[in-house]
């Protein structure tokens, strides 16, 4: 009998008066995983302000109330997205006492780059202490490297905190400029800095002698350059506490 060969039967058009099954995959059940993933997509597409409970729910084809079964609230959702992003940070396999400063530096640069690649997600880390698995993984590695480099435990412990504050703050600050340039184009960003520079130049030199004399220097340098400048200042300050031979790549 032919009527049991389902595969071939489906090649024939379905009679239009039959109610089609509800769109496939829309009934894929909600989960924390799916919510975080959707939040991350929204973050990348529209920035952190685009990640609202309502928008995430909409994207998942449901109402905002449904999210609360899988996530305690907006804060937890953002924490989860942040830690997922931190998962992209690359770490060296083993601490190398000969190159401890370079290793600390590489992790810092990688973390900075990763956060910068995801809009203004860094704001989340400023708002609460990150305790997700990836945050811990990174901090653990930094601590191991500094200890291997001979840095005293108390200094190393506080330095992790100070370093991550610096990285996160710079990433956040820079991301706001990037948001500005995405919204108004490259041109808007240039205009913004142009206005500031013009304002600096217009200041009265008698009250702002140093400022007006150094507008050039104040405005120079790209994001990355300034970040690494500050990072190297911090690392130079740290170097005194550890093995001297680990400080092979001193800044200017």
List residues near a copy of itself by CB under 8 A: 126-129, 131, 136, 139-140, 143-144, 147, 153-162, 165-166, 168-170, 172-173, 176, 196, 199, 203, 207-211, 214, 217-218, 220-221, 226, 229-230, 232-238, 240, 252
Cβ 22 to DNA, closest distance in Å?
Answer: 11
Please identify, using beta-carbon distances, which residue of 59 and 173 lies nearer to a copy of itself.
173
Alpha-carbon distance of 32 to 13, in angstroms, equals: 38
91 binds, among DNA, a copy of itself, none (CB under 5 to 8 A by kind): none
Q: Mark 191-220 as b/e (b = at least 16 C-beta within 10 Å).
A: eeeeeeeeebeeeeeeeeeeebeebeeeee
Smallest Cα–Cα separation from 46: which of 174, 144, 183? 183
75 contributes a contact to DNA by CB under 7 A: yes
- Of the residues 54, 195, 214, 248, which one makes contact with DNA according to CB under 7 A: 54
Q: Per the structure block, which two tokens stand in for 29?
A: 């059940």
Cβ 211 to a copy of itself, closest distance in Å?
Answer: 5
29 contributes a contact to DNA by CB under 7 A: yes
81 contributes a contact to DNA by CB under 7 A: no
Q: Among all chains, which residue has been given the structure tokens 């590489």?
A: 106
Please identify, using beta-carbon distances, which residue of 51 and 159 lies nearer to DNA.
51
Kindly state the helix (H) or strand (E) to which residue 93 belongs, with its residue range.
none
Q: With CB under 7 A as the rule, give the number of residues binding DNA.
A: 17
Identify the DSSP state of 98.
G
Q: Among all chains, which residue has been given the structure tokens 């071939």?
A: 8
């Amino acid at each position: 009998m032919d009527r049991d060969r389902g595969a071939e039967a489906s090649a024939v058009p379905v009679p239009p008066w039959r109610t089609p099954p509800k769109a496939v995959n829309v009934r894929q059940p909600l989960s924390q995983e799916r919510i975080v993933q959707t939040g991350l997509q929204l973050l990348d597409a529209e920035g952190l302000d685009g990640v609202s409970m309502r928008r995430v729910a909409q994207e998942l084809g449901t109402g905002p109330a449904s999210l609360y079964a899988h996530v305690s609230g907006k804060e937890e959702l953002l924490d989860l997205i942040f830690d997922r992003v931190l998962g992209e940070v690359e770490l060296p396999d083993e601490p190398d006492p000969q190159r401890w400063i370079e290793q600390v530096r590489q992790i810092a640069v990688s973390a900075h780059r990763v956060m910068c690649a995801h809009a203004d997600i860094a704001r989340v880390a400023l708002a609460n202490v990150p305790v997700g698995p990836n945050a811990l993984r990174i901090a653990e590695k930094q601590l191991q490297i500094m200890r291997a480099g001979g840095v005293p435990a108390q200094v190393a412990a506080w330095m992790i905190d100070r370093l991550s504050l610096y990285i996160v703050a710079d990433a956040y600050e820079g991301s706001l400029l990037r948001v500005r340039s995405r919204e108004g184009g490259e041109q808007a960003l240039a205009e913004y800095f142009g206005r500031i520079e013009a304002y600096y130049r217009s200041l009265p030199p008698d009250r702002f002698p140093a400022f007006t004399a150094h507008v050039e220097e104040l405005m120079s340098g790209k994001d990355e350059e300034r970040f690494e400048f500050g990072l190297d200042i911090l690392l130079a300050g740290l170097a005194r506490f550890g093995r001297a031979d680990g400080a092979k790549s001193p800044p200017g």
